[in-house]
Amino acid sequence: MKRFITWGTLCLLMAGSAGAEQAAAPVTLEQKRTGTAPPSELTLEQALTLLDERSPWTAAERARVDVAAADRVEANILPNPSFSYGTQLLAAGVNTGSSVVHELSLEQPLLIFGQRGVRRELAERNVSAEQARVKASVAERAFAVREAFAALLTNQEELRVLQETSVDLGRVEKVVKGRASAGDSSRYDVERIEVESRALEVEVMNARASVDDASGRLAALLGIEGWHPRAQGTLRTTESLPDLPLLWESAQQRRPSLVAARARQEVARGGLDVARRDRLPVPSVAAGVMLTRNEKSTIAMVGVGLPLPLFDRNQGSIARASAEMQAEARALDAELAEARAELSRAHAVLEGRKSALVRLEQDVVERLPTMRRMAEDAYREGRGGILELLDAFRSLKDMRVLHLKQMETVKVAEASVLFAAGMDAAP
């Protein structure tokens, strides 16, 4: 007995196949590159780990170290020997020996004055300087990640505040409509609170868009396509920072830009050592044979060559290397002055932001629950109108958002101090 597939069965199979395809999660470039998807819930430590381990930008920066490491190969290479050939042919006169003479010789320069040693040392300094530059660059990107993470966390909290305010306003809207039905309030009160509720819904939509934008900015900094992380953490500062003198001591030792500046100074000093060593002459030894044609004979030749540094004693390279070393010394002094000024500024800003936050929490935030309760009670008891109630809701909402913004500024100011002092970098 033959079985036939009906159109209904076929449609069900096609619908199931389409549903399965829609249910399958899209594979992003990050998953293809690493084999694992990044977490949807993200802490600041995880974000910094992703920057260090999985960011394409960080990988590209570190690849520059391999370029500098190629100098090690060049520093270890010996100079090439040179081969020469010459012939002597009798042109006129009496043949006193042989009319045809062939000369073959091989010459090898000898680096006997330590040229290879100083070049190897310079190559190592170049690698160290490039590593320091990469660390400074990654530290700047990490600071940007800290700022983006704080912005995402703030936008998430602001969205939560607006959603809570919308729920509270919806509850009050029911009370107003109930009073209007009972004849205790006018139709204007109902229209006014409905307009306020719709306007707050627009604010919630904008806040949700701001969260998506902040999430996308963080994902872009980490170089992960198609990812929309959600920040986990608190805007409260947890660091107990030392005094300014101790912060400056830390900055001098650990601030990546200062470490990179000292590494560049060491490279310039190594370049001067190489230039001074290159002014020494490079002797060479030669060996060869002389072959005669008519009177067949073979004559061995051995010789030594030594350049005479009468005019060119590498003065140009030495002068350039000396100028570069002086320039790097001045650049280090400038970096130190700028770092100290930046640290002082960041520390002063942090103290000011903290003081403002404490004042806001003590004089404003602690009063918000009481103000909301008083406004609602006054409206229920008929001692206040709808405008006073809505004004109280707006003020409460604005104060809560202001509190979040102030905590964000303190968080970013603390990150600025950590960056300026080099305390967010590995020692």
Q: What is the pLDDT of residues 117-154, one digit of tens each?
A: 999 999 999 999 999 999 999 999 999 999 999 999 99
Residues whose CB falls within 8 Å of the CB of residue 36, separated by 6 or more in sequence, listed in order: none
pLDDT confidence of 344, banded at 50, 70, 90?
A: very high
Contact (CB, 8 A) for 45 and 235: no
Structure-token match 């084999």, residue found = 35
pTM for the full predicted model: 0.80
pLDDT at 69: 92
The three-class DSSP label of residue 414 is: helix
pLDDT higher than 70, residue 185: no
pLDDT by residue (tens digit) across 15-62?
A: 444 444 443 344 444 455 555 778 999 999 999 999 999 999 999 999
Residue 159 pLDDT greater than 60, yes or no: yes
For the chain, list the domains and their CATH numbers. Answer: 42-80+121-269+336-421 (1.20.1600.10)
Is residue 300 predicted with pLDDT exceeding 60?
yes
Q: First and final CA of the chain: distance in angstroms?
A: 81
Determine which of 63-77, 228-242, 256-270 has the lowest per-residue pLDDT on average: 228-242
CA trace torsion 392, 396, 398, 401 (10° rounding): -170
Rounded CA-CA distance 19/318 in Å is: 74
Q: What is the mean pLDDT of residues 373-398?
A: 76
The model's confidence at residue 175, banded by pLDDT at 50, 70 and 90, is confident
Closest residue by Cα to residue 334 from 265, 267, 270: 265
Closest CA to 280 of 254, 243, 317, 255: 317
Q: 253 in helix, strand or coil?
A: helix
Residue 139 burial by Cβ neighbours in a 10 Å radius (0-12, 13-18, 19+): buried
Question: Which band of pLDDT confidence, cut at 50, 70 and 90, is reported for residue 2?
Answer: very low
Report pLDDT for 368: 77
Half-sphere exposure of 121 (CA within 13 A, CB side): 15
What tokens does 129 get?
């300087």
Lowest mean pLDDT among 108-112, 302-306, 356-360, 370-374: 370-374
**What contacts 120, CB < 8 A, 6 or more positions away?**
72, 75, 76
Average pLDDT over residues 333-362: 94
